Amino acid sequence: MAERLEGKVAVVTGANRGIGRGTALCLAEEGADVLVNFRTHAQEAAEVVKQIEVLGRRALAWQADVAERDQVKAMIHGAMKHFGRIDIAVANAAWSARRPVVEAHWEDVQRTIAVTQFGVFHTCQFAAQRMVERGQGGKIVIISSIHAEFPFPTSGAYNMAKAGVNHLARTMAAELAQHRINVNVINPGWIDTPGERVYASEEELQRAGRRIPWKRMGTERDIGRSVVFLASDDADYITGSTLRVDGGFMLGLTLPKVETE
């Protein structure tokens, strides 16, 4: 069976670990060449590049902080120069600090918005410009979160940023339909990534996973395979949509039990 993304070039932000890593590898498995963006942990980015090359695809690691507009512009230019085209852009990079709004540090709020909201804007805008210039359509996928749907406590700035990029995606989808550029969003649920271990132990994560209706936390590949679908011709007639990939997490949310007298 032919690979769905044969001959395509993808740019994936935050692709050295977590969801970005899983997405980059899934795209490569389906035939895409990939620019692997990273800000820190260069060795992890190099390892992702090697894994993509083992699959027979081209890969390029590119260090850039997506919060820095000039760095994102240079990265997209670098992808064009190296690969000659950009067919797929996956805006995945995000950052957050968990505190209640009344206790939030302003520098953390600013960094969250700069990466999680403005970084997505920069990535999508510069990639879309190149796609429009080329005139052969394209696929833009924003990795958002169920935080855009539910006001999870201690995540005020992150919730706000994710809700914002979801609406950005719908706006861009409306504007870019004439250019046959699909713009869609994935809202992951609770995904098993290295970042989760900053806030919880392995035992706590396993226990939490069993509370999700699907009885496990999501994986990087669960999201990566969903990105592949939206980046392929199979999703040609889908734009401005949000795909929730959460194993039923949102369906399983319940109100706290009330003490009875």
Name the catalytic one among 62, 118, 121, 158: 158
In this structure, what DSSP letter does residue 116 have?
A: I
- How many residues are present in the chain? 261
**CA 2, CA 105: separation in Å to the nearest integer?**
50
Q: Tell me whether residue 158 is one of the annotated catalytic residues.
A: yes
- The three-state secondary structure class of 26 is helix
CA 257 to chain centre: 35
Neighbours of 193 (CB within 10 A): 20
- With beta carbons less than 8 A apart as the criterion, state whether 24 and 15 touch: yes
Sheet of strand 88-91, all strands in order from the earlier edge strand to the far edge? 59-63, 33-38, 9-12, 88-91, 138-143, 181-188, 242-245
Distances (CA, A) of 109 to 151, 156, 169: 16, 9, 22
Q: Tokens 């706000």 map to which residue? A: 160
Distances (CA, A) of 218 to 84, 185, 196, 212: 34, 17, 12, 10
Catalytic residue positions, numbered = 158
